[in-house]
Amino acid sequence: MKILAADTSSATGSVALLEDGLLAAEWTLATSRTHNRRLLKTVDGLLREAGRSLREVDGLAVTSGPGSFTGLRIGLSTFKTLAWALGKPFAGIPTMDALAAPLSFARHPLCALVDARKKEVYCAFYDFDEKGNPRLRGPYRALPPEDLESLVAEPTLFCGDGWLAYRDLLRERLKERLIELPGPFHSIRAAFVASLARERLARGEGDDPVTAVPLYVRPSEAEINHPELAARFRK
């Protein structure tokens, strides 16, 4: 099974192709260029270098959120359209599930953090079973980073750009309860988006590319500033 996947939930973009569970190609780059200017070009270049075409792909996947509202919309609209046009299975993968996936054999609990701006982080807590499968503990949530102090009771791994944004504060608040990770673990890799999607699609748990929506966790600016207009569009 060939899975083409992408992450556009932050300034760091990533695209990958997985073939039968093995990484065939991956591209990850942090840049100021917006995803709408580079996503399709990157997909085309990745497939060309891998000697594959879109029609050979068996499934498509993209991070569904939370994260940058604009980035999520670009990634979802692009990959949903490709899946619909090609008649391929599609899966939206929660951002923090993909962020946690490389650490699936950790012995400690994990807190995945995504910078939510406005002095907040998106967070999710995980532990892992004996086979390395991640288990989400509680809901995805948005909160001030200071609130993590009351949620962390034991030594816990932290990863994500939310950790990078607030690491000084968290070091001061959490002290010995905090376990720091090397830099590469703080970016989302599309290879892990593809791996999670492969498992879901193999179980027949894909999403409808027509109706799949972003996982925002908190209201968008439009919903906050114009609730009556947002309500009309949700109908």
pLDDT number for residue 226: 45
pLDDT number for residue 224: 54
Return the CATH fold of 106-184.
Nucleotidyltransferase; domain 5 (3.30.420)
Per residue in 140-158, is it b (16+ CB within 10 Å) or e — as a string?
bbbeebeebeeebeeebbb
Q: Please state the domain extents for the chain.
A: 2-96+188-224, 106-184
Nearest one of 88, 36, 32 to 57, comparing CA atoms: 88
Say which residue the tokens 């300034």 belong to: 11
Amino acid at 138: G
pLDDT number for residue 218: 85
pLDDT number for residue 221: 56
pLDDT number for residue 101: 94
Domain spanning 2-96+188-224, CATH architecture: 2-Layer Sandwich (3.30)
Say which residue the tokens 């270098």 belong to: 49
Tens-of-pLDDT digits for all 235 residues of the chain? Answer: 999 999 999 988 999 999 999 999 999 988 767 777 889 999 999 999 999 999 999 999 999 999 999 999 999 999 999 999 999 999 999 999 999 999 988 999 999 999 999 999 999 999 988 877 789 999 999 999 999 999 999 999 999 999 999 999 999 999 999 999 999 999 999 999 999 999 999 999 999 999 999 999 987 655 555 456 445 434 4
